[in-house]
Structure 1
Amino acid sequence: MHIAILGHGIEGKAAAEYFLAKGEEVTVCDSNQGLSLPKTLGAQLGPDYLKNLERFDLVVRSPGISPNIKELQPIRSKLTSATKIFFDACPCPVIGVTGTKGKGTTASLLHAILSQGEKRVFLGGNIGVPMLSFLNQVTKSDLVILELSSFQLMDLQKSPHVAVVLGITPDHLDYHKDFEEYVAAKQNIVRHQTKNDVAIIDVDSAESAACAKLTSARVREVSTTKSVRDGAFVKVDSFTLLDGNEGSIFGTRGNTRLLGEHNVKNILAAAAAAQTLGAPLQHIQSAVQNFKGLPHRLEHVARKEGVDFYNDSASTNPETTIAAIRSFKRPEIIILGGSGKGVSFASLAAEVVERENVKSVIVFGEMRQEISAAIEKAAIEERMQAIKAAAKKKEEPIPPHKLEIIQAESVAEAFMVAKMLAQEGDVVLLSPACASFDMFSNYIERGEMFRNFVLDT
């Protein structure tokens, strides 16, 4: 067969290697005219990289290329993806994890739990390990955990044996035509399940809770706001699993290394999935207590002169940044900015204005003016509401808390200003609420620059 690989990023490279190993003829189609490729690969590069695709027997899209773009419609019968290929060929049970935030942490914590058992456990997908890079190693006695993005799920026609659905909030609206398409893509993770499968669902989120009606699988619920009959929840600060009439406590809020209420939800989801797969309670308890979290996700970089620096570069949308801000009660200096994803900053702006411990916001990058304007508007709206409330009570309005907004010309300047403003007892938090593509190749590069800045200055 002659196979076209659309895109030569991490997943595209793995797909090319996968098919070359099978002896197939492979051509890479990429918009980068200057891409350097090995002689074993054919090339269709530059602005016309999506033309004449009908000449190929199979076309494998990378996640960053939507299956809905007009250039791909004439060859939809030949179009596939690494995710589709993996699900068709994987011989063992697959556990898929999706959601707007927390899927990488949840998948990794679940991997830490299950790896204590006798089965070999693979972890891949959107987390940075291409699933086709290890498909040939997988046997029927193994387990595979995949972090799955909306890009990977949107045309998937199979669902994992265990599907974990975390909260769904607006994101990637620069890729999807609207929020409804984004939600529908996420919901594909349960749409094709059978009665022999299991869905672990965050029922505190309306969009994820709706998945319960879309699946034929057993549904186990996860909540931080209420008790559930089958799943995981918090009871008097204790992490609780309930499977029928049998309940177990597997940890407490004060006995985990993961910060923030959003991570409580990740812990509950991972534990429910692990219990579903037969993991002993002691394995769940051990992993929950000792799991440090992932790089660039509320990662504690260092404490210098009484100031704690946190790298949360993986927060690329407002909702994840809100969760990060809520993780601290100490005075915060927040660094925001980057490239846009088509989402509103109104909720983030309101959070920043309402939280009295946020003392300074430093914005940089392509979205700095939009973020600044959103915060200024939120501050005016909050002040007007305070004045109206005070007038009704015939009282003087409470003065607003002092909040400084600084626009930096570069990311290096943003880091430097944050460090200069920080005082003993403060938290400096890089949680951009934006993608990184205006200045960096990815959020990892951005986070590493911040980490190096903190450690080297």
Structure 2
Amino acid sequence: MGLGLHGGGEASVRFFLKHGAFVTITDLKTEAELEPTIKSLKNDSSLNLDKADFVLGRHDIRDFEEADLVIKNPAVKYEGNIYLKKAKHIESDISLFLRFTKSPIIAITGSKGKSSTASAIHFGLQQAGFHSFLGGNITISPLHFLEKTNENTPVVLELSSWQLSDLRGRGILKPKIAIITKIVPDHLNWYGTMENYIEDKKLINKNQDSSDFTICSADSWGDIFASGTEAQVIRYSSKPFQGHTAKGAWLDIHGKGYVTRSAALSIQMGTEDLKINKKISSNSKISLQTKTATPILDNLLVPGIHMKENMLIASLALVLMGVSPLKTAKIMAKFPGVPHRLEYFHKKTLQNLPTGGTEDLKITKESFKTSFLFYNDSAATVPDATIAALSSFTDPIHLISGGTDKNLDFTELAKHLPKAKSLYLLAGSGTELLIKELDKSSVPYFGPFPSLDALLARLKEQITGEMTFGAQEIILFSPGTASFGMFKNEFDRGNTFKKLILELF
């Protein structure tokens, strides 16, 4: 139920067709809307599509009554769903994977930083010599690699609140390491309250025991997750721990990461030549101790204090998996980042020489050049993410923001937007709310524009006419809103932005 465009539905179809099942593929989206996914299935000669029946643009209640099993897309609600009420049994691609895999699971949830943290952990594990896999909400269904997993292949799963909700009451999620990244208000158009949102998030470490680990923030949100598990709790913070002896890791004022002295937390500490235990199974016990604050994070390629915090979390996970702190720091220094999350993808240097040339001026032609660096942060779907992005640069920022609302508050974002040298807004219900806040403080902006094409054309005209020569400036696309309406999803939004920029500049 819900073929979708993100890969989970397609992976489920492939999995069941490969194993000889008769599959009804049903989605309220039309064939035209689902064209990329359908084309991918129909062009695969290894699939027996004689056993597949497409019911698109509608649902037929009989399909649900007669099916032995319904695979539900996480974006489909149970509440008030007449079709799911008729189903004999319901699973998701994540629940199926968890029922069959023997791999140790590193599960990540949160409001922001999930994908960056999950990707960094997977990158780090592979660099350290593990044969790991990455899947879940990061648009890779774990069913794609289920049959390649075993007790020696760690699996990093990014899990949204919706994916976790589908696991409620099943008792099948017991991660070796559960990670909760930054929590901020999100999806309140779906949940109504933060309490409801957090209840689903808390499922990530509910089934853990004392042989497992939970990594959570050293704040009130972290306290909620720490109190709901029997796992060993490890805390992280963007500043040194104060007033208590929290186990975990922190960043100093220079952005370097350390494991605290009190990290007698049963984590593996060793030297550069520590031999990694590549046979850490879901039943293994990890135990070694450290008595001093140990560096685990130093220089990074990715910008922003919030990205440093994500990399700190990833570093903790690597150390828990037996990678030495020194080696962890070296690995994290090579992590290139994730598409659509403060993704640097283009540089354009523009020159505007005086009409009479520079021969008689005591300056070089280089002085009349301005470099523009382009960053795609389309995965910033909440205001807090855009606030963090604005704080990631010291050069002047031309910010592109706005889009669809999901019942979020834009008051705080409006207070930070004067940091931008210029502000360009895409039209949308969220933008309308943001503009009300901007107008209260007389913050100038361009737009709202009905399309990204129109916005970028105006931006190019503006920045080329007002260049600060000899400078370097940032073009940052960080919407702080949802993407639906103008785009298929945030990834389509980011890809469209990159494509248009490369055409214009």
Same-fold status (TM-score > 0.5): yes
Is the 1:97–1:165 Cα contact (8 Å) retained in structure 2?
A: yes
- Aligned counterpart, 2:25: 28
Residue 142, structure 1, aligned to residue 207, structure 2: no
Displacement of 1:193: 1.2
Write the distance in 2 (CA, Å) between the matches of 1:345 and 1:76: 40
Alignment of 1:6-25 (within 5 A): 6-9=2-5, 10-25=7-22
Is the 1:315–1:433 Cα contact (8 Å) retained in structure 2?
A: yes
1:240 pairs, out of 251, 255, 258, with 258
Displacement of 1:73: 5.6
Residue 130, structure 1, aligned to residue 141, structure 2: yes
- Aligned counterpart, 2:406: 341
Displacement of 1:39: 3.5
Residue by residue, what CA displacement relative to the aligned partner does 1:322-365 show, whole Å, maximum 9, x if unpaired?
A: 11111123322211122222222222112214xxx323221113
CA distance 1:335–1:24, shift in 2 (3 Å)? same
Give the SS at the match of 2:211: coil
Is the 1:167–1:208 Cα contact (8 Å) retained in structure 2?
A: no
- One-letter code of the match for 1:321? T
CA distance 1:177–1:53, shift in 2 (3 Å)? farther
Residue 226, structure 1, aligned to residue 262, structure 2: no
- Aligned counterpart, 2:341: 297
- One-letter code of the match for 1:410? S
- Aligned counterpart, 2:165: 154
- Aligned counterpart, 1:406: 447
Residue 251, structure 1, aligned to residue 297, structure 2: yes
Alignment of 1:91-240 (within 5 A): 91-156=102-167, 157=170, 158-204=173-219, 206-227=220-241, 229-237=246-254, 238-240=256-258
Write the distance in 2 (CA, Å) between the matches of 1:214 and 1:258: 33
Displacement of 1:166: 0.7
- One-letter code of the match for 1:375? L
TM-score of the two chains, using structure 1 as the length reference: 0.87
Residue 373, structure 1, aligned to residue 436, structure 2: yes
Displacement of 1:49: 4.5
CA distance 1:50–1:329, shift in 2 (3 Å)? farther
CA distance 1:117–1:404, shift in 2 (3 Å)? closer
Residue by residue, what CA displacement relative to the aligned partner does 1:194-228 show, whole Å, maximum 9, x if unpaired?
A: 12111010223x33431000011000001013326
The root-mean-square deviation of aligned C-alpha atoms, in Å, is: 2.1
CA distance 1:78–1:247, shift in 2 (3 Å)? same
Residue 309, structure 1, aligned to residue 374, structure 2: yes
Write the distance in 1 (CA, Å) between the matches of 2:306 and 2:64: 43
Write the distance in 2 (CA, Å) between the matches of 1:246 and 1:61: 48
Write the distance in 1 (CA, Å) between the matches of 2:206 and 2:452: 42
- One-letter code of the match for 2:489? N
CA distance 1:161–1:68, shift in 2 (3 Å)? farther
Give the SS at the match of 2:82: helix
1:284 pairs, out of 308, 318, 328, with 328
Gaps of 5+ in 2: 43-48, 265-290, 350-370
- One-letter code of the match for 2:372? V
Gaps of 5+ in 1: 381-401
Residue by residue, what CA displacement relative to the aligned partner does 1:240-267 show, whole Å, maximum 9, x if unpaired?
A: 0233124311233xx2111111112101
Is the 2:65–2:88 Cα contact (8 Å) retained in structure 1?
A: no
Is the 2:74–2:166 Cα contact (8 Å) retained in structure 1?
A: no
Write the distance in 2 (CA, Å) between the matches of 1:282 and 1:50: 58
- Aligned counterpart, 1:439: 486
Write the distance in 2 (CA, Å) between the matches of 1:183 and 1:63: 16
Identity %: 30
Displacement of 1:76: 6.7
Write the distance in 2 (CA, Å) between the matches of 1:170 and 1:229: 25
CA distance 1:231–1:349, shift in 2 (3 Å)? same
2:498 pairs, out of 440, 451, 456, with 451
TM-score of the two chains, using structure 2 as the length reference: 0.79
Give the SS at the match of 1:146: strand
Is the 2:380–2:479 Cα contact (8 Å) retained in structure 1?
A: yes
Write the distance in 2 (CA, Å) between the matches of 1:370 and 1:405: 15
| Higher Rg of the two aligned structures | 2
- Aligned counterpart, 2:79: 68
Residue by residue, what CA displacement relative to the aligned partner does 1:46-77 show, whole Å, maximum 9, x if unpaired?
A: 33346652321111101211233432562476
> Which structure shows the higher strand fraction?
1
Give the SS at the match of 1:328: coil
- One-letter code of the match for 1:247? A
- One-letter code of the match for 2:458? V
Is the 1:187–1:208 Cα contact (8 Å) retained in structure 2?
A: no
Is the 1:109–1:287 Cα contact (8 Å) retained in structure 2?
A: no
Is the 2:94–2:141 Cα contact (8 Å) retained in structure 1?
A: no
Give the SS at the match of 2:127: coil
Write the distance in 1 (CA, Å) between the matches of 2:140 and 2:151: 20
Residue by residue, what CA displacement relative to the aligned partner does 1:270-319 show, whole Å, maximum 9, x if unpaired?
A: 01111111112233112221111111111112232322221111111111
Write the distance in 1 (CA, Å) between the matches of 2:23 and 2:326: 47
Q: Could you tell which deviates more after superposition, 193-202 or 47-56? A: 47-56
CA distance 1:373–1:416, shift in 2 (3 Å)? same
